[in-house]
Structure 1
Amino acid sequence: MWTWVSFALAAALLLAYAQRRHDAPLIDLALFRERAVTAGLLTNLAFSMGMAAYFLIFTMYSQEGRGLDALQAGLVFTPIGAGYLAASLLAPRLAGRFGRQVIAIGGLTRAVSLAVLLAAVAGNAPIGWLVPVLAVDGAGMGLALAPITATVLSRVAPRHAGSAAGALTTAQQVGGALGIGIIGIVFYNALSGGVAVAFQHGLVYLIVVTLAIAALVQWLPRARAAA
């Protein structure tokens, strides 16, 4: 009960604070009238809701479902890191050419790779067969995450750039915490069927979240023309 009471009190306190006048507010509420900020915050929130949640349940699946020790499970994540690094280095160049659609491509790439991973887990494929799928998934992460901040800020009025950057960071932290909470509910509610089944349920949630990234980024306005 105290959890729900805390949520209610937090909302009330936030509303009361927002209604007060401040000479130098940390975040000017006019910031949220800019579509670039609203769309960017939601996109960043959706991305973050999938990241920490994914690593949590994949770690549990690797160790509890496949019997790997901590070192072996850590090595399984190597292809993700390799794909992420390669895509992150390429993403700025692609963003300069394709703009916001690079983020959408990253979300769609992740959705496809997670769907393939879901099929592989359902078919009890050997862990080694997951390597190319995980590398592609990491590439999707890099394409989606690397350009988010720059893409959003390029569409925000210069006077709001600092506040927008701080709000994006906050959305990332909130999204990570929220994603862990949701995936915990999904995963543990399905755990009676086994770790593999619970992992598959978690992957369905993650696929929905990554598809939401591709949809939300379309709400971003086009980049401002150079002066």
Structure 2
Amino acid sequence: MSATAPQGSASHIPESVYRRRWLILGVLMLSLLIVVLDNSILNVAMKTIAQPSPAGLGATQGELEWSINSYTLVFAGLLFTAGLLGDRLGRKRAMLAGIVVFGAGSALAAFATTPGELIAFRALMGLGGAFVMPATLAILMNVFPREEQPRAIGIWAGGVGLAIAIGPITGGVLLDHFWWGSVFLINVPVAVVAVVAMALLVPESRDPRPGRLDPVGVLLSVAGLVLLVYGIIKGGQLADFTDGQVLLTAGGGVLVLVGFVLYERHSDHPALDMSYFRRPAFSAAVAAIALVFFALMGVTFFGVFYIQSVRGFSPLDAGLLMVPLAVAQMIFAPRAPRAVARYGAKAVCTVGMLGVAAAMFAFVLIDETTPLWVLEVVYFVMGTSMAHVMPPATTSIMQSLPPQKAGSGSAVNNTFRQVGGALGVAVLGSLLSARYRSGVADALAPLPADARHSAGESIEATLGAADRMGPAGRALVDPAKAAFIDAMHVTVAAAGTIALVGAVVVAVWMPGMPAVSREQDREGEKEPEQVGAQR
């Protein structure tokens, strides 16, 4: 018997598309896989890229950060514009172009010969990724009926967990057998498969009434986001958010974005309808996503250095040790809609944010000798908690908007996630750096001033200096590890506090379960009792 779209809720979905909707979801997840996979692989490869040629590129701590931040800067700056273009020109077309550009950037990054080239090619990958990410959710919302969207989004979020799991393991295997560039080259065959599958299976969709272009709004959004994200990144690098460069760029970005909001509110053809933010289901969910990624990205960034530099594990070991974080998301993200149906999005997201906060604070108990099973439990709790935040919050955002605006809605969702993540890396990274530098200062005092400054940038820089000093450098190893552990404790306490703020935001502003749903739930509980009485 052939599947047919349910009447009413899916009447806009052609029957041929509805029948292959789960195959389409698989293609979307494959496309999403290469974007998320690359960043999770890069986290494992950072230590290798920092090594001198030919093993790596000899990248400094600042260059390593920019290899991540160049992608983030372009990706976050163009996400909103890419979503709008997808709504107007066609989401399938935008996604195909994005994957091709991402694949080309990956191939070029694999053969970069200097850190500068790697940073530039990572920016090109960010350009491609900006067109892929919003299109995946926008297409999903247009091929699934409303009642199936929470489940589809849960599976989509589980796919992110799969990529997080595969990335570090794949990166570790590649780095054990091939040169560092293989972690980028692996994206190319996946991109080719995704392009072919998308061309064959995914339907085109766009906003049937896009209205007039809003070039002023688009330019203001790009300029504001780029300036803001650049200022955040610069503040993290300098470990000083009061520096003139930081205040000028980040402050300028905020002013431009305020101008964007004011312009859009008075425009008769806005790029982004500001009335969406008056809906608690939309604005509270956006805030939750930004805050949870602020906390998570900062912790993920230093987690790799704790596992490899403090504990001495290989890149492959580091990938395997982070598997519980991803496996928990894979298991629970597709099941989160069931919890939402029973308890409501507010309750589920609040408990999830509290779980994220608890996992962050648990890192305070971790030191150089902590049993590995403790670390694994903390990662699993963190992944489980995130799995009960991301799908409900994403569903809340996407279902607050009409289907024809799915691209811009997805772009807002991903923009706040990226800005929150960039803030997390910059703010928490600068806190970690400042605390580490002060903690290791006494141990580095015998070194010359120039060497002392460079060796205090990070634990990897200190251990590198110790290695170059030979037997005399052994005296630096234990103080460096102790200083890093102390800095990590301070940083995770800050991250946990941010997650608690997110829990409060969700608990106060996200709408609870609708009265109709509660009544249906009570009727569902009474029904078995009534049947039993009749028997």
Bin the TM-score by the shorter chain.
0.7 to 0.9
CA separation in 2, counterparts of 1:28 and 1:223? 26
**Contact 2:281/2:396, CA 8 A, preserved across alignment:** no
Higher mean alpha-carbon deviation, 125-134 vs 88-97, is at 125-134
Query: d(CA) in 2 for partners of 1:118 and 1:130?
Result: 11
- Deviations 1:175-200, CA, capped at 9 Å, x for gaps: 11111111112111221431111111
User: Which runs of no fewer than 5 residues in structure 2 stay unpaired?
Assistant: 1-243, 440-482, 517-535
Structure 1 residues 19 and 79, CA gap change in structure 2 (3 angstroms): closer
Shift of 1:128: 3.5
Per the alignment, residue 254 of structure 2 pairs with 11
C-alpha displacement at 1:117, in angstroms? 3.1
The reply to whether residue 215 of structure 1 matches residue 504 of structure 2 is: yes
In structure 2, the CA distance between the partners of 1:203 and 1:11, relative to structure 1 (3 Å rule), is closer
Hey, what does 2:334 align to over in structure 1? 89
2: CA distance between counterparts of 1:112 and 1:188? 23
For 2:388, what is the secondary structure of its paired residue?
A: helix
Deviation at 1:28, TM superposition (A): 1.3
Q: Report if the CA contact (8 A) 2:348-2:388 is conserved.
A: yes
1: CA distance between counterparts of 2:323 and 2:506? Answer: 28
Q: Name 2:420's counterpart in structure 1.
A: 175
SS at 1:146 equivalent: helix
SS at match of 1:67: coil
Q: Using CA pairs below 8 Å that are at least 6 residues apart, which structure has the higher relative contact order?
A: 1
Q: 1:5 to 1:113 in 2, by over 3 A?
A: closer
How far the C-alpha of 1:159 sits from its partner, in A, is: 8.3
Alignment equivalent of 1:149, drawn from 388, 394, 400: 394
Change (3 A) 1:122 1:173: same
Choose 1 or 2 for highest CA Rg: 2
- Superposed counterparts of 1:53-92, under 5 Å: 53-92=298-337
Which secondary structure does the structure 2 equivalent of 1:190 belong to? Answer: helix
CA pair 222-116 structure 1, distance change in 2 beyond 3 A: closer
In structure 1, the residue matched to 2:352 is 106
Residue identity in the other structure for 2:361: A
Query: How large is the Cα RMSD of the aligned pairs?
Result: 2.5
- Residue of structure 1 equivalent to 2:9: none
Asked if structure 1 preserves the Cα contact closer than 8 Å seen for 2:307 and 2:318, the reply is yes
Which secondary structure does the structure 1 equivalent of 2:351 belong to? Answer: helix
Which amino acid is the alignment partner of residue 72 of structure 1?
Answer: D
Look up the SS of the partner of 2:389 in the other structure.
Answer: helix
- Identity among equivalent positions (%) equals 24
Matched residue SS, 1:149: helix
TM-score, normalised relative to structure 2:
0.39
1:130 is displaced (CA, Å) by 2.0
| 1:32 has 2:277 as partner | yes
Aligned residue pairs, count: 225
Q: Is the 8 A contact 2:401 2:409 kept in 1?
A: no
